[in-house]
Amino acid sequence: MNKVSIKNLIINACHGVHDYEKKEKQRFVFSVDMYTDFYFAFKTDELSETVNYSAACNVINEVATKNSFNLIEKLAYEVCNALFESQKAIKRIVLTVEKPDAPVKMEFESVSATVDLTRQTAYLSLGSSMGDKQKTLTDAISTLKKVKGVTVNKISSYIKTKPYGGVAQNDFYNCAVEIETFLSPRQLLRELNRIEAKFMRMRDKRWDDRTLDMDIIFYGKEVIVEDDLIIPHADYLNRDFVLTPLKEIAPEFIVPVKNMKIKNL
């Protein structure tokens, strides 16, 4: 992977936990490595095929000067989010924010926070078997679009399916969603659980009827086996209500472990 770097970009802004830090500007120093693929830039010599470092500087300045955060960790994440949203060519960001004038009563050079975030493509399965099912799916996707660090790229058609697992009584509506995200798998799972809770998802009985179910099926090429998180989803191969929508939006995706295209599963 290639990278475009900006070193020691100095911006005067107001960030900090103290009241005076929110009113009096101080120096913040940004250094960022933005990873991308130079091949198409090499082939075309076109700026549109790579990372625009001038535009990136403007984005960093915009976030830093138009907001006031308590923590430089928050500042770093917000800058990364804005950079990812503004330039699709960026696949990974390593960003450091330094605060040379931090209120520390000792001799020091600087304090800093560094974040390392990678954009991944993930596939989700959504289902609902209670209430206005189609509206629930639509509203849940709208809520997902508002999650910082998540971009919804594709949404499959809604399909009506029979209940699975022998517990639920109602028919389901299901769909699949392709997203890009720099959230980790566990952070993404936390956000999906938060959305489920917003739609009154209850977990009293496995495979029971539910207002909303949101599962991570694939997260890039990653394979994760933990007590409460398995990726690829442990049961996706047995679920037509998962595979059918995925074949619609991602037929060429090669799934981990099986090493087969979705359309051939």
Counts for the chain of helices (H) and strands (E), in that order: 6, 11
Active-site annotation holds for 25: no
Tell me how long the chain is.
265
> Is the torsion defined by CA of 65, 66, 71, 72 positive or negative?
negative
Distances from the Cα of 34 to the Cα of 9, 37, 81, 117, 197, angstroms: 14, 10, 12, 10, 35
> Is the torsion defined by CA of 137, 245, 182, 67 positive or negative?
negative
Query: Integer distance in angstroms from the first to the last C-alpha of the chain?
Result: 31
- Select which of 91, 99, 133, 247 is catalytic: 99
Q: With the CA atoms of 198, 202, 208 and 210 taken in that order, what torsion angle do they form, in degrees rounded to the nearest 10?
A: -20
Partner residues linked to 33 by β-bridges:
5, 94
Q: CB of 177 within 8 A of CB of 154?
A: yes
Task: Name the residues annotated as catalytic.
Answer: 99
